[in-house]
């Protein structure tokens, strides 16, 4: 539900430039060898040659391919040709032994995605400060360093353009997004309307909207079960329903299991504008002048800035409810006769 500004990722390429260049050259070299090793049909051979020629002509790499070039490759070459067709390879040291694979798997194995996941991707994404699942924002997606330079991802990498159809993009960083295992398994090889990477200018709005009546009534009963809210997804219940976030991940149902958290956010957000909250803000400012944490985050308990929403689970949920309560505050005051 939260798109990543692709510049935030591509700006990090230079920090891994040497490693990326080495691994990219190795990947292209391995891709070329498959043409000699496997019995490819004319369409497969033409497809793989055209991709190699494009990469070399444009002087780009598959790993750090830019946002624009990635989309160009998708549009230009579309999906893998005859990807499910089995191709054979004779083992050099044992001519009687034949290796048989699907063509798409030949590409994926040649590019060595599994190895790059451990050697590069885990470390790379640990440096970007993205710590939650991009799709649901309800689960952590973190990388830990078990020992020096040994990184372990506590999440899964989702391929925006699935490996089954786009094996040539299996190692492209801007085709990978941190995802919790549940969302990754649910999404599988689907291509969704939601775009995990944007240019910072164009993206659809997804978010949470409180039911005004239920919130006003809550302040008379303080019964959290009556709190109602919806996840807004313009693709849901439309012609694009099958590829919508809500239809695939059941975002509303996930968050409706956390009404205790919703209740706390609502109360804290309402109290935030109270004079006593201002007293607390003044106290912190006077007693801890060097504190760098914004008061809003200390008080509400989560990030509220749009640029920080992927740094902690449920930050989007928290921000949207906080904003909604600021709008409803005068109505709540009337209900409480303040």
The answer to whether the beta carbons of residues 98 and 273 sit under 8 Å apart is no
Strand 207-210 and strand 86-91: the pairing is: unpaired
Q: Which of 182, 184, 139 is nearest to 159 (CA)?
A: 184
pLDDT tens across 225-281, in order?
999 999 999 999 888 899 999 999 999 999 999 999 999 999 999 988 777 788 888
Mean pLDDT across 64-72: 91
**Residue 206 confidence (pLDDT):** 92
The yes-or-no verdict on residue 62 having pLDDT over 70 is: yes
Q: What is the pTM of this model?
A: 0.89
Structure tokens at 69: 């070039």
* Cα–Cα distance measured from residue 258 to residue 196, given in angstroms and rounded to the nearest whole number: 25
Mean pLDDT across 133-158: 88
Dihedrals phi, psi of 97, to nearest 5 degrees: -95, 135
pLDDT tens across 69-111, in order?
999 999 988 788 778 888 887 665 555 567 888 989 999 999 9
DSSP three-state, residue 47? helix
Strand 94-102 and strand 86-91: the pairing is: antiparallel
The answer to whether the beta carbons of residues 279 and 271 sit under 8 Å apart is no
* Cα–Cα distance measured from residue 75 to residue 65, given in angstroms and rounded to the nearest whole number: 14
Strand 176-179 and strand 229-232: the pairing is: unpaired
Dihedrals phi, psi of 129, to nearest 5 degrees: 65, 40
* Cα–Cα distance measured from residue 261 to residue 255, given in angstroms and rounded to the nearest whole number: 9
DSSP summary character for residue 3: P
**Residue 126 confidence (pLDDT):** 85
End-to-end CA distance of the chain: 37
Structure tokens at 252: 């509303």
* Cα–Cα distance measured from residue 135 to residue 110, given in angstroms and rounded to the nearest whole number: 29
Place of tokens 């775009």: 195
Structure tokens at 116: 């790059």
Mean pLDDT of the residues in the chain: 90
Q: Quote the crossing angle between the two packed helices 17-37 and 103-111, to the nearest 10°.
A: 150
DSSP three-state, residue 77? helix
Dihedrals phi, psi of 75, to nearest 5 degrees: -70, -35
């Amino acid at each position: 539900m939260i798109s990543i500004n692709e510049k935030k990722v591509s700006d990090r390429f230079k920090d891994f430039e040497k490693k990326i260049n080495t691994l990219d050259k190795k990947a292209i070299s391995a891709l070329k060898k498959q043409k000699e090793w496997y019995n490819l049909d004319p369409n497969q051979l033409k497809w793989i040659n055209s991709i190699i020629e494009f990469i070399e002509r444009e002087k780009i790499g598959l790993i750090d391919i830019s946002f624009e070039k990635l989309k160009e490759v998708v549009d230009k070459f579309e999906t893998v040709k005859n990807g499910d067709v089995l191709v054979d390879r004779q083992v050099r040291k044992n001519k009687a032994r034949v290796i048989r694979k699907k063509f798409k798997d030949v590409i994926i194995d040649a590019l060595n995605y599994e190895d790059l996941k451990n050697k590069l991707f885990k470390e790379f994404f640990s440096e970007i400060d993205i710590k939650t699942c991009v799709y649901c924002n309800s689960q952590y997606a973190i990388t830990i360093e078990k020992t020096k330079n040994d990184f372990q991802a506590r999440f899964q990498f989702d391929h925006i353009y699935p490996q089954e159809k786009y094996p040539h993009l299996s190692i492209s960083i801007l085709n990978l997004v941190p995802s919790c295992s549940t969302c990754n398994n649910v999404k599988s090889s689907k291509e969704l309307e939601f775009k995990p990477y944007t240019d910072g200018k164009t993206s659809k709005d997804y978010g949470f909207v409180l039911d005004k009546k239920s919130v006003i009534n809550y302040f008379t009963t303080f019964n959290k079960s009556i709190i109602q809210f919806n996840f807004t997804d313009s693709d849901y219940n439309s012609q694009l329903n099958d590829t919508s976030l809500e239809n695939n991940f059941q975002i509303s149902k996930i968050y409706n299991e956390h009404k205790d958290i919703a209740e706390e956010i609502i109360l804290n957000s309402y109290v935030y504008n109270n004079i006593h909250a201002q007293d607390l803000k003044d106290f912190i400012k006077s007693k801890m002048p060097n504190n760098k944490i914004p008061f809003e985050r200390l008080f509400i308990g989560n990030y509220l800035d749009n640029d920080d929403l992927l740094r902690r689970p449920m930050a989007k949920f928290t921000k949207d409810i906080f904003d909604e309560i600021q709008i409803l505050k005068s109505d709540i005051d009337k209900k409480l006769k303040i």
